[in-house]
Structure 1
Amino acid sequence: MTTVVTPGSTGAYVKLAKLDIVDYYLGVLVVWALLAPASRLDPGVLATLGVFLVGEVFVIVAMVALDDLTGYRDGSDAANYAPDAPARKLNRKPLVAGTLTEPQVLRFALVTAAVGAAVWLGALAVAPHRPLWAVALVAVTYFFALQYSWGVKLSYRGFQEFFLAALGWALVLAPYGLATGDLDGVVVVQALLFGLGPLLFGVYSNTNDVEGDRRVGRPTVAALTTPRGNRLFVRAVSVCEFLLVLALPLVGGPWWFPLALLPTVVLRLRQLRVGFGRGDILRARRIGIDVHRVTVVTLVVVNLVVR
């Protein structure tokens, strides 16, 4: 049954915020599990991670609201969520569905962006450590999150795929730095793994949206290449993920880490088969979301055991 969303209602703003897509927010769980046991219940560390997560939610909500506004204005969302695309839920795009207006969306984005900035400043204020690289990473992440589809429009200049991964990397590395003041190889490799998760369902969305993106000049890999070239790119990113799994024991992780991540590898192969073997791109995207969440659970469990 399709839920009816009243124009201008709280439900319309919830749809705009995409709060059901929690995948970037899960990075804080990975960070917490990576901490030394004595730090996991430290009040200052917990406060830092909690405040950072709240700010992260507001920043990402602002980012996706601005993305929807740009997609509505250039017509790509109308094309990608057209009536002949029944697998896409139209009410997830309130502007296209007519449940919010452009001024309402812009105000919402500006307010959530301002709140996100204030909350992240609060996280910096309460953090036990403030290494320059972590503070700079927070600032850079904030700036470029809002420029994803607005301002300089990174996703319209050929940086979309890199950004999807880099955002995930930053949302692990920055809070870990604020909590500990340090980094090691295990943290870096797990951050890289975490960031590839959102990318490896984002590229399937791009594959589905290729015609709409081409129409408005949004240069995703899928839009710039042939179907074969796009398929090779997705396979290459999937191989990179597998190589990172193999690399973790080399940087100080347990020797059995690749065995623990075997479900991730198997599900990733299934995603490729469903998406490019059977041609069911949106189902493959859904599998990608599941793969990312399975990976996060595995990372958390492994870290709690060995850190």
Structure 2
Amino acid sequence: MTYRPTTIAAPSAPVRGGGLAAYARLAKLDIYDYYLGLPLVWALLAPAVRWDAGTFGLLGLVLLAEVVVVAAMVGFDDVTGFRDGSDAANYGSDAARRRLHRKPLVAGTLTEPQALRFAWAATAIGTALWAAAVAAAPHRPVWAAVLAAVCVAASVQYSWGLKISYRGFQEVFLIGLGIGWTLVPYALLTGAAPAFVIVQAVAFGAGPMLFGLYSNTGDADGDRAAGRITVATLVSARTHRTFVAAATGALVLLIAGSAAAGIAPWWFPAVLLPVVAMRLAHLVIGFRGEILRARRIAIHAHRVTVALLVAANLVASGIAS
């Protein structure tokens, strides 16, 4: 989940005793796009549930659980990337541009044992927090509890254990985690997951997948050398551009088709018209070879999607009530 392959030698003597800042960078605390599903969940709730004090408490607990699980995931990912050389290959002469300091093992601000201890501790704490969230929830559908457990297990094994991101499942994971982390808290608060909520969860989950595809485009050589299987490493650059176009088109079809099928209200595609324009823009820019710029637009499109859906759901529920 990085940008452009080049070559750089890993530091020969990592600095020991990394401080809190190094651990914060290891945890990638500045990456918050998956957590934006929680404001969306809150906006999707009925007003009586939305403003209940217990709702805020549960969403806060889920947020903490998500942050800690992501810290475990990216911690293991950094260890694996450091060991197989993919992080060193994907961060190079443009290290300042690509913020090499965000990879503390390659930058030498943490050692591998320190990163491993951090990742295992985060795994234990994150699992406990998710278990506490399920136990404290007003509703506990079995499918939601199972989905929460699957999300935790898949996150921890993204680049560790089963190494699912190395086995050809990275793209599925990127969209699946966003869907899961939207549906689970909604179900824990309401006991169900209506069709329109599922549509919005998929639209949300597609955001990290789409900007992840641009990362994979830039990382194809380094990932291929490290044995990581993604669509970008298996096909030509031209075919991968077609794949990105197909994924983008599928999202646009979901937005328009769900309203046409009566699953989503009429306002759903109308509200997301700016997002559709942004999606088409990053697609054209990506086809021109400006991968980093296309990725930035894709990230902004994801955040705009959340902002528009939060506002629209609040307005719609206000009218309905």
> Hey, what does 1:238 align to over in structure 2?
248
Counterpart contact for 2:16–2:110, Cα < 8 Å = no
Corresponding letter in the other structure for 2:48 = A
Are residue 64 (structure 1) and residue 82 (structure 2) matched?
no
| Partner of residue 277, structure 2 | 266
Residue-by-residue CA offset, 1:184-220 (whole Å, 9 max, x unaligned):
1110000000000000110100001111011011111
> Tell me, which stretches of 5 or more residues in structure 1 are unaligned?
none
Secondary structure of the 1:18 match is: coil
Cα distance, 1:43 vs. partner? Answer: 2.0
Cα distance in 2 for partners of 1:141, 1:258 equals 29
Q: Deviations over 1:17-42 (max 9, x none)?
A: 11111000000111110000111011
Task: Output the CA distance in 1 between the equivalents of 2:130 and 2:124.
Answer: 10
**Alignment match, 1:254:** 265
What are structure 2's unaligned runs of at least 5 residues?
Answer: 1-14
Residues 65-118 of structure 1: CA distance to partner in whole angstroms, max 9, x if unpaired?
111110110000000002256531111111110011000100111111111111
Give 1:253's aligned amino acid: A
1:217-248 residue CA offsets vs partner (Å, 9 max, x unmatched): 11111110001110010001100110111133
> Does the 8 Å CA contact 1:200/1:238 hold for their aligned counterparts?
yes
1:108 equivalent in structure 2: 118
For 1:51 and 1:85, the matched residues in 2 are separated by 36
Cα distance in 1 for partners of 2:16, 2:40 equals 37
- Taking the aligned partners of 2:196 and 2:124, their CA distance within structure 1 comes to 34
Q: Which residue matches 2:292?
A: 282
Q: In the TM superposition, what is the alpha-carbon distance from 1:251 to its structure 2 partner?
A: 4.2
Q: Are residues 1:229 and 2:239 paired?
A: yes
Is the 8 Å Cα contact of residues 66 and 126 (structure 2) preserved in structure 1?
yes
Letter aligned with residue 274 of structure 1: I
Counterpart selection for 1:98 from 98, 108, 113? 108
Q: CA deviation at 1:252?
A: 4.0
Paired residue for 2:157?
147
The answer on whether the counterparts of 1:7 and 1:98 sit within 8 Å (CA) in structure 2 is: no
- Aligned residue for 2:168, secondary structure, equals coil
Counterpart of 2:20 in structure 1 is 10
Once the two structures are TM-superposed, the CA of residue 178 in structure 1 deviates from its matched residue by: 0.3
Tell me the residue number matched to 2:7: none
Output the CA distance in 2 between the equivalents of 1:26 and 1:201. 15
Q: Residues of 2 paired with 1:48 and 1:213: CA distance? A: 38
* Aligned-partner residue type, residue 212 of structure 1: G
Conserved in 1, the CA contact under 8 Å of 2:207 and 2:302? yes
Q: Deviations over 1:127-151 (max 9, x none)?
A: 0100101111111111111111000
Is the contact made by 1:49 and 1:179 (CA closer than 8 Å) also made in structure 2?
A: no
Query: Structure 2 length normalisation: TM-score?
Result: 0.91
Q: What's 1:133 paired with?
A: 143
Counterpart-to-counterpart distance in 2, 1:86 and 1:247: 43
Distance in 1, Cα, partners of 2:139 & 2:93:
51
The answer on whether the counterparts of 1:87 and 1:282 sit within 8 Å (CA) in structure 2 is no
Count matched residues.
302
Structure 1 residues 26-105: aligned runs within 5 Å: 26-84=36-94, 87-105=97-115
Question: TM-score, normalized by length of structure 1?
Answer: 0.95
Q: 1:253: Cα distance to partner? A: 2.9
Residue 296 of structure 1 corresponds to which residue in structure 2? Answer: 306
Q: Does the CA contact (< 8 Å) of 1:6 and 1:12 recur in 2?
A: no
2:200 to 190, 206, 213: 190
Is the 2:28–2:102 contact (alpha carbons within 8 Å) kept by the matching residues of 1? yes
How much has 1:254 moved relative to structure 2? 2.4
Query: In 1, are the aligned partners of 2:206 and 2:251 still within 8 Å (CA)?
Result: yes
Deviation at 1:281, TM superposition (A): 0.7
Distance 1:103 1:6, change over 3 A: closer
Q: Distance in 1 between matches of 2:145 and 2:262?
A: 25
- In the aligned structure 2, how far is the partner of 1:243 from the partner of 1:104? 46
The answer to which structure, 1 or 2, has the higher relative contact order (CA under 8 A, 6+ apart) is 2
